[in-house]
Amino acid sequence: MTTVLFYVFAGIAIGAAIGVVISRSPVGSLLFMVTTLAAIAGTFVLMEAHFLAAVQVIVYAGAIMVLFLFVIMLLNLGHEAQRDLKGGAFAVVAAGVGGAMAGMLALQLRGADVAATGAGAEAIAAATAEYGAVGAIARPLYTTYVVPFEITGILLLVAIVGAVVLAKRSDA
Amino acid sequence: MELDFSRGVHYWWALLPEIVLCIWGMGVLIVGVSKRHRQSGEDATGDPTLSGAADLGWLALFGVLGAAFANGWLYGVHEVGSGGMIAVDRFRLFANWILLGAAALTILISFAYVYRQRLQAGEFYGLILLATAGMMFMAAARDLIVIFLGLEVMSVGVYALTAFNRRDRKSAEAGLKYFLLGAFATGFLLYGIALVYGATGSTNVAAIGASVSAGTATPGLLAIGIAMLTIGFGFKVAAVPFHMWTPDVYEGAPAPVTAFMSSAVKAAAFVAFLRVIVVAFPEADDVWYPIVWWLAALTMVAANLMALVQSNVKRMLAYSSIAHAGYLLVAITASNTNAAAGLLFYLLVYTLMNTGAFAIVIGVAHQAEERLQVEDYAGFGWAQPLLGVSLTIFLLSLAGFPGTGGFMGKIYLLQGAADAEQWRLAVILVLATVASYWYYLRIAWFMWMKNPAKPDQHALVVAPLPMQLALIVSVALVLYTGLFPSAALDFARASVAGLGALVP
C-alpha cells in the first residue's frame, strides 16, 4: 500500500514538475508547482515525517506560492509568456541534458534500495525514534545547528537589504 | 584560551571576526540611513575624500580592521578536538586575511566611484561587509550546511552589489544574469549536499570523510553528490564550462564590485572547495579527480584563448580571472601540501594584483563605466607615470613575470603539480601562461608605445587618497612576495599543516 501510494505521489510530483517547465502561462506554471509541492508533502507523510509534511503545505504550498501568485498578478504577467526562450532547438537541448542527467541518476541508483537503507535514512530513523517527528527537527535546530540557524538570520538581512536597495526609487 | 564546542557559548569566541563584521555591517547600514539627507544636497564637484559617503567608507574600513584584530586574536586560541561545526585552524585564519584584505582594498578603491556615481554609500559598504562575513563563514565551515549558508550570504550580497548602479542598464542586466545563474548553481550545490548526506548520514566534512574511508557510504549516491558539489563550486569559481555568466557580469557590474567578485568570491569558493576535497573526499578521488582535472585543463585553455580577442579591458580581466581559476584548480587536483600552500599564496597575490589592476581601470574610466577599451590606454604611461608603472607591475604579475608575486605563485602551483606528478596539467599551465603574455602585454604596449588620440586625454585621471593607499599597499606586497617569497610561503605552509589528508 505504502509503495503504491509512493509511486502515485512521486508520479504526480514529477509530472507536475514537467508541467512547470512546459506550461506557457506563468499562472499555470505556478499551479503546477503547488501540485508538485503538495505531492512531495504526501511522500513526507509516507516517511512518517508528519511535521515536515505540514510545514511543506503551510509554508511552501500555502504562503510562498500565494505570494508568487500575488507578484505575478500585480506585475500583470498572467497572460502567455513570450516564446523566445522556448524555441525548438532550445527545448531539444534542454530535454537532452535533463534526460541524460535523469538517466545517469537511474543508472547509478538501479537496484539499490537507497531510500530505506542509506546511512542518512538510519540517522533520521534514530532521531525520530528518540525525540518524535517535531523533536527530531527542533532539538538539532537549536542545539547542534544553532550556528547555521543564526547565519540564516544574517542571510535574510542581506536579502532584505539587497531587495530594498534594488527596488527603491533611486532619487527617493 | 581553549575552545570546547560541546559548550555552545564557545562558538561566540570562535566566530568573533565574523560577528564583528556582521555587527559593524549593520551599524554602517544604520548610519548610512541616518545620513542620507545630508548627502543629497552636495554638489558633484566637491572633493570625494571629504564627502558624506567617504565617512561611511572609513567607518566600514574600521570594521574590517576590527575583524582583522579578532582574527589575529584567534591565533592564540586552540580548540579541543576538531569535530566542531566551525574550524579554528590556521587554514581558516590565513583565508580570513585574504578575504579581509580583499574587502579593505575594495572599500579603498570604491570611495571616488561611490561618490561620482551617487551610489547609496551605507548600503554599498554594509553589503560589502556582510558579504565578506559570508565568505569567512565559508572559510571556517566544517559542515556542508555552514558552507551553503555562507555561500548564500556572500552570493546574495554580491548579486545586489552587481546590480547596484541604478543609472546603468548594463549593471541591472548583469545583476539579473548573475542572480539567475547563481541560483541555478546553488541548486546544484544543495542537491549535491543532500545526496552526500543521504550517502554518508552526515553533513560534517570530517564525519563524511570517515564514512567514505570506512566504505559505509552508498557509492552511487556519493558519486552523484560529489559531482553535483563540484559543479556548484565550478559555477562559483567560474571554471569552464560553467563560466558563461562571467564576462557579462564582470563587464556590467560596477568596477569595484567586479574587483571584489573576481578576488574575494573566488578565494572563498576555492578555500571551501579545498577543505571539502581534502577533508571529506580524499578517499573518493576516483570520482572528483577526473572532473576537476578536465575542469582545470579546459579552463586554462579556453579562457586564455578567449581573452586573446577581447578589446574591452574589464571583459579581458574577466577572462583573465577565469584563467586564474584554472591555474588554481590545478592545485585542487594535486591536493598535496605544496599545492595547498601554493593555492593560499596564489590567492593572496591574486587578490592584490587583481584589485590593484581594477583600481587603475576605475581611475582611467573616470570613476565611471566609460573609456574601457584597450585603445583608451594609449600613451597613459607617459601621461601618468606613477599609475602607469603600477598598472604595468600588476599586469606583469598577472602574466607571471619573474620578480613579481604572480610568478612565484605560479612556481608554487607548478611545484605542487610536480609533486603529484601531474605533468600534463603542468605543461598546460606553462603554455597557457605563455599565451596570456599577449593580452596582458598588449595593454602595457598601448600604455607606453602608443600616442594618445588627444593630447590631454589622461589629464582627468585622478587617484584620490584612498585609492593611492590601496595602490601603494598592492604594489609593495606584489613586489615583496615576488622578490622575497619565503616569508609568505612559510606562513602559507604552516597554515595548511594538519589540514585533512594532504599528501606531504
Per-residue pLDDT at A172: 43
Q: Is the dihedral of CA B445, B450, B454, B457 positive or negative?
A: positive
User: Does a structural domain hold residue A64?
Assistant: yes
Secondary structure (3-state) at B228:
helix
What is the chain B residue with the closest CA to A107?
A: B220
Residue B292 has pLDDT above 70, yes or no: yes
Beta bridge partners of B2: B78
Q: Could you give the maximum distance between any two Cα atoms of chain A, in Å?
A: 62
Please indicate if any CB of chain B lies within 8 Å of the CB of A116. no
Could you give the CA distance from residue B48 to residue B103 in angstroms, rounded to a whole number?
A: 20
Which structural domain, as residue segments, surrounds residue A50? 1-79
- Residue from B227, B75, B249, B228 nearest B178 by CA: B249
The identity of residue B480, as a single letter, is: Y
User: Does a structural domain hold residue A75?
Assistant: yes
Per-residue pLDDT at A77: 64
* Pairwise CB contact (< 8 Å): B85 & A147: yes
Give the cell for residue A82. 513570450
Cis before B241 (ω within 30):
yes
Residue B16: band (very low, low, confident or very high) from pLDDT cuts 50, 70, 90: very high
Interface probe for A, chosen from B130, B151, B204, B242 (most Cβ of A below 10 Å), is B130
Give the position of cell 581594477: B358
Per-residue pLDDT at B41: 46
Per-residue pLDDT at B51: 65
DSSP B420: T
Tally Cβ neighbours within 10 Å of residue B74: 23
pLDDT digits (tens, 9 = 90+) for B399-425: 998 989 999 999 999 999 999 888 999
Q: How far is B262 from chain A (nearest CA, A)?
A: 20
Please indicate if any CB of chain A lies within 8 Å of the CB of B16. no
Contacts of B167 in chain A (CB under 8 A): 170
Residue B46 has pLDDT above 60, yes or no: no
* Pairwise CB contact (< 8 Å): B29 & A118: no
User: Does a structural domain hold residue A129?
Assistant: no
Please indicate if any CB of chain B lies within 8 Å of the CB of A20. no
**C-alpha dihedral, B87 to B91 to B92 to B97, nearest 10°:** 160
Contacts of B135 in chain A (CB under 8 A): none
Please indicate if any CB of chain A lies within 8 Å of the CB of B201. yes
User: Does a structural domain hold residue A39?
Assistant: yes
Extents of the domains making up chain B: 12-36+48-495
The total domain count for chain A is 1
Tally Cβ neighbours within 10 Å of residue B219: 14
Could you give the CA distance from residue B128 to residue B113 in angstroms, rounded to a whole number?
A: 15
Q: How far is A120 from chain B (nearest CA, A)?
A: 4
Q: How far is B78 from chain A (nearest CA, A)?
A: 19
Low-confidence ranges of chain A (pLDDT < 50): 172
* Pairwise CB contact (< 8 Å): B15 & A147: yes
Between B51 and B161, name the one with better pLDDT: B161
Please indicate if any CB of chain A lies within 8 Å of the CB of B157. yes
Query: What is the pTM assigned to this prediction?
Result: 0.91
User: Does a structural domain hold residue A98?
Assistant: no
* Pairwise CB contact (< 8 Å): B149 & A151: yes
Give the cell for residue B340. 595547498
Contacts of B11 in chain A (CB under 8 A): 146-147
Q: How far is A156 from chain B (nearest CA, A)?
A: 8
ipTM score assigned to the predicted complex: 0.90
Between A109 and B67, name the one with better pLDDT: B67
Please indicate if any CB of chain B lies within 8 Å of the CB of A134. no
The full DSSP string for B79-125 is ESSS-SSB--SHHHHHHHHHHHHHHHHHHHHHHHHHHHTT--HHHHH
Contacts of A119 in chain B (CB under 8 A): 198-202, 211, 216-218
User: Does a structural domain hold residue A6?
Assistant: yes
Pair B259, B355: CB distance under 8 Å: yes
Q: How far is B179 from chain A (nearest CA, A)?
A: 12
Give the cell for residue B430. 606553462
User: Does a structural domain hold residue A131?
Assistant: no
Q: How far is A8 from chain B (nearest CA, A)?
A: 23
Give the position of cell 534500495: A113
Tally Cβ neighbours within 10 Å of residue B80: 13
Q: Assign residue A66 the CATH number of its domain.
A: 1.20.120.1200
Cis before B48 (ω within 30):
no
pLDDT digits (tens, 9 = 90+) for B24-34: 999 999 998 88
The identity of residue A165, as a single letter, is: V
Per-residue pLDDT at B43: 46
Task: Average the pLDDT over each of A101-105, B353-357, B475-479 and give the range with the smallest value.
Answer: A101-105
User: Does a structural domain hold residue A172?
Assistant: no
* Pairwise CB contact (< 8 Å): B120 & A165: yes
Residue B139 has pLDDT above 60, yes or no: yes
Contacts of B201 in chain A (CB under 8 A): 118-120, 122-123
What is the chain B residue with the closest CA to A106?
A: B220
Reduced 3-state DSSP string for B58-84: HHHHHHHHHHHHHHHHHHHCEECCCCC
The rounded mean pLDDT for chain B is 89
Please indicate if any CB of chain B lies within 8 Å of the CB of A162. yes
What is the chain A residue with the closest CA to B198?
A: A120
Please indicate if any CB of chain B lies within 8 Å of the CB of A119. yes
Reduced 3-state DSSP string for A6-51: HHHHHHHHHHHHHHHHHCCCHHHHHHHHHHHHHHHHHHHHHCCCHH
What is the chain A residue with the closest CA to B219?
A: A108
Q: How far is A60 from chain B (nearest CA, A)?
A: 17
Taking residues B233-254, report their average pLDDT: 90
Between B130 and B36, name the one with better pLDDT: B130
